[in-house]
Structure 1
Amino acid sequence: MLEESVTSDTTDLKDDFHQGYRNRFSAIPWDVPYRPPLDHPKPKVLGTQSAVVCGPEGEEIYCDQYGRVKVQFFWDREGKHDDMTSCWMRVASSWAAETFGSINIPRVGMEVLITFLEGDPDQPLITGCLYHGANLPPYKLPDFKTLATVKSKEYKGSRANELRIDDTTSEISIALRSDHGASAINLGYLTHPRPSGGQPRGEGFELRTDRHGAVRAAAGLLITTEPRPNESKHHKDLPETAERLATASDQQDGFAVQAKELQAQEAGDQDDVAKALHAQHQGVLGSGPANLTANEFPEFTEPHLVLASPAGIALTTPRSSHIATGEHLALSSTGHTSLSIGKRLLASASRGMRLFVQSMGWRLVAASGDIDVRALKDSINLLAKLNITANADRITITAKTELVIQGGGSATTYNAGGITHATSGPYTAHAANFAYTGAKSLAGVFPEPPKPGKGNLELFNQYAGRQGIKEGDYEVIDALGKSIKGKLDGKGFASVAGAAPGPAQVLFGKDPADTWSDGSYIGKPEWPLNPPGPEDVPSQVQAMVAQVLPSKRWDMLEKGKDMAQTGMSAMQTAQGAMQTAQQVKGVVQGGVAGLPKLASASMPSASGLLGAASKAGKLPSLPAPSLPKPSLKTPGLLAGEMLS
């Protein structure tokens, strides 16, 4: 719009003449297209309409990245119920936000209800879904009108997932179910499915599946039948359980003290167990503030698993059971502990067995078979304050070297030298007849100790880089003191059979590649943390040079040896010479064929040593040693012998 006007004022005085120009206009940006105003209003759609969700052939769920779907209206006679029938239409949701909310995509074939924002036909919106004669509800109505459910259907399948709420009078329940593995969580009044009769199945909760199951709690787990009506306490409240654990721990401590006082146990036998039990009890009690208003409660200090019941715990299986602990196992009962075993009771202890009875005695009865008590390495000691009674048809006492019977200050000794009776009082013997027929000896027959089981012990001796020490010696001392010796294979491995069950001691010999290194020694590396001191240099240098130089030239090195002890540089060079000496020894053991390698390896180290020593003082010149050309035909030279 442009407006213009011209004004003119004239007077008699020419100097007072005025003339002006004025305009007014409206403009739009250059890059904005001009559109003329709409003189006709846009059509509006009044009310809502229904349609059927459609999509490509064979597709059950068809949508875009925004969850929009396509539909075909019932009045559309030209539509083909495919993905080209309509534009994308948004679907209303009860909760929608960025990356969270609720979503239920209408599926192909569902009837939906469509409204239009402000009646605009270009802004359709799906607000809900409708059941009809072809799409019936999940449950028959009105028979199961008390059921509220959210039930889905497997994509291109027949199975389903369901959240079902049952509001039947006095029988309310809720279930979360999946047809995969018949997995379900059932809460409340448990029944079979209502459409199948709804027979009662119990009350409470049920977590079940036909597949695998797991209960995992990284901070700890409490499984208990202690009642807490109406959620009246902290969800891990367990004072009764903690009290029972404390009582059991005190009982363990009390019996342990008595056992030590009566020498049934050695001091410290149960200290580790007691410490572990007390620590576990404190961990179950928990730590932290107790502030109910801030939802702060003492929590497990470690991820304990606690099982508790005021009535009892029953464990049963038709197969085998195994309880394994990495540390200690403690069993406590204030009443009886009963073991009923169908076959054998087998108990093995690596470090001894101690049994203590506070009162009422200890009884061992074999209804049939022998009672066999053996000490394969040490003694059997019997001690009684009153009597030791043995009743049998025949009692045999046999001693391999000597039998001594003592009582009241009198004694009888039986050994290979004869029989000696000793008493400070009268000696009385009653017999109908005495017969002395001459000397006779009857040696006792002793059963051989049982041979230990042929268990296998695998040995590995490796460098830090996991490379095996080849053909090293080893010695195994088993639990009975038997020594088994042998050699490792080329990979530093050996399998030892015949050792007695129990703890064993293993010793490895020298490293064949470095005989100065003890294979059984594990400590700090000697290089470079602990270099040889001055007192170590002369003997090592002397041993190395003596193999390389003729004996007649040894005197020329005495001065160099003394200077090497005073110079730090000579010490460092000697370390390299020590390593070379190891190579020299390996070459010498390899025979004459290794002499060229011997010469080439030894000369640089020897001359380097002399060069370092010369810095401390002048040394006479030393010619290089002359070595004969190695040959297997050298007369008088054995394989592995050093030339001199």
Structure 2
Amino acid sequence: LRTDGHGALRAAMGLILTTHAREAATGGMKDVQEALEALQNALRQSESLADAAGQHLAHDGDDQQSAVQAIRLQNDDLAGDGAALGEMSRPHVLLASTAGVQTTARGDTHQASGGHHIITAGAHASTVAGKSFLVSAAEAVRLFARNAGMRFFAARGDVQVQAQAGNVELRARKTIRLQAKVIELQAEHLVLINGAGSHQRLDAAGILHGTDGGWTVHAATKVFAGPKSLPVQLPPFPQSVCKDCMVKAALQGSPLAQIR
């Protein structure tokens, strides 16, 4: 297919583009067995990791399972009802290669899905950006690693973590280490340190130490002077109207929408 003008390929009932050979024209026109086997393997991989993420409480609700279900339904569409020429029961576009698939554009590339957008890799999945890597989600962002941990490195610049309307929780089965030239802890109302029951409480009312064991202090000199405090300076968080909440409130007849 070659033209100096426009080109179009239309198939109202579905379209198969493949490099899987059919020697002597064997099999049906819509036979997609090789591609379907690969997609079924991808489905099993997605199911396995989705179950693992759920067992480790990495995802809430059925978000991951609903995406897996979308893969399952697509595979069922491709397989058809088992009758002769019964494949492709819905008008999908199937692109299947015995080697690889490459796409390139000198301009921009845009992928859009009205439903779920699912990418499955049997080995590594690599994303490289010449500038920034930006992720925006209307609801949640959740990451799960099953066997080998996670790393978040910044060669330059700061690493910032904010919960602008909730809590930040760091939990570890073993040890949490904080190492830096300077470590600052600030709280507007209260700092509570509890180690196996021995504790220290710091708030505007004063400092409270408590322990069921001994209390040992080592110091070359000891000075107990008059009162002194430092101001607590916390950065302000942005305030924005939750548009989704406004729509939900309008549908429910509520006059109020949440501020985030």
TM-score (norm 1): 0.38
Structure 2 residue 179 is matched with structure 1 residue 391 = yes
Structure 2 residue 92 is matched with structure 1 residue 304 = yes
Structure 2 residue 246 is matched with structure 1 residue 505 = yes
AA aligned opposite 1:336: H
Question: Which residue pairs with 2:53 in the alignment?
Answer: 259
Residue of 197, 203, 206 corresponding to 1:409: 197
Mapped to 2, the partners of 1:281 and 1:222 lie a distance apart of 14
Q: What SS class does the counterpart of residue 76 from structure 2 fall into?
A: helix
Aligned-CA RMSD value: 1.8
Structure 2 residue 16 is matched with structure 1 residue 226 = no
Structure 2 residue 220 is matched with structure 1 residue 432 = yes
Mapped to 1, the partners of 2:184 and 2:163 lie a distance apart of 18
AA aligned opposite 1:232: T
Written as runs of structure 1 = structure 2, the 5 A alignment for 1:332-351 is: 332-351=120-139
Question: Which residue pairs with 2:83 in the alignment?
Answer: 289
Mapped to 1, the partners of 2:253 and 2:169 lie a distance apart of 38
Q: Which has the higher Rg, Structure 1 or Structure 2? A: 1
In the comparison of the two structures, how many residue pairs are matched? 253
Deviations 1:204-235 (A, max 9, x none): xxx01111111110000000111222322222
**Structure 1 residues 385, 519: CA separation in 2 closer, same or farther (over 3 Å shift)?**
closer
Written as runs of structure 1 = structure 2, the 5 A alignment for 1:54-69 is: none
Written as runs of structure 1 = structure 2, the 5 A alignment for 1:275-286 is: 275-286=69-80
Residue of 444, 449, 453 corresponding to 2:232: 444
Q: What SS class does the counterpart of residue 222 from structure 1 fall into?
A: strand
Question: Which residue pairs with 1:614 in the alignment?
Answer: none
TM-score (norm 2): 0.92
Q: What SS class does the counterpart of residue 504 from structure 1 fall into?
A: helix
Contact preservation (8 Å) 1:222, 1:236:
yes
Structure 2 residue 108 is matched with structure 1 residue 320 = yes
Mapped to 1, the partners of 2:151 and 2:65 lie a distance apart of 28
Gap runs ≥5 in structure 1: 1-206, 291-296, 453-477, 480-501, 509-517, 522-644
Contact preservation (8 Å) 1:412, 1:422:
yes
Alpha-carbon shift at residue 258 of structure 1 (Å):
1.1
Contact preservation (8 Å) 2:31, 2:87:
no
Question: Which residue pairs with 2:6 in the alignment?
Answer: 212
Question: Which residue pairs with 1:247 in the alignment?
Answer: 41
Question: Any runs of at least 4 consecutive aligned residues in structure 1 with deviations exceeding 4 A, and if so which?
Answer: none
**Structure 1 residues 288, 254: CA separation in 2 closer, same or farther (over 3 Å shift)?**
closer
AA aligned opposite 1:231: A
**Structure 1 residues 519, 299: CA separation in 2 closer, same or farther (over 3 Å shift)?**
closer
Mapped to 2, the partners of 1:379 and 1:298 lie a distance apart of 53
Mapped to 2, the partners of 1:279 and 1:216 lie a distance apart of 23
% identical equivalent positions: 36
**Structure 1 residues 318, 415: CA separation in 2 closer, same or farther (over 3 Å shift)?**
same
Deviations 1:257-293 (A, max 9, x none): 1111111112322232122111100001122522xxx
Deviations 1:74-119 (A, max 9, x none): xxxxxxxxxxxxxxxxxxxxxxxxxxxxxxxxxxxxxxxxxxxxxx
Alpha-carbon shift at residue 334 of structure 1 (Å):
1.1
Mapped to 2, the partners of 1:301 and 1:233 lie a distance apart of 17
Mapped to 1, the partners of 2:10 and 2:51 lie a distance apart of 39
**Structure 1 residues 242, 346: CA separation in 2 closer, same or farther (over 3 Å shift)?**
same
AA aligned opposite 2:244: P
Mapped to 2, the partners of 1:269 and 1:429 lie a distance apart of 53
Mapped to 2, the partners of 1:283 and 1:304 lie a distance apart of 8
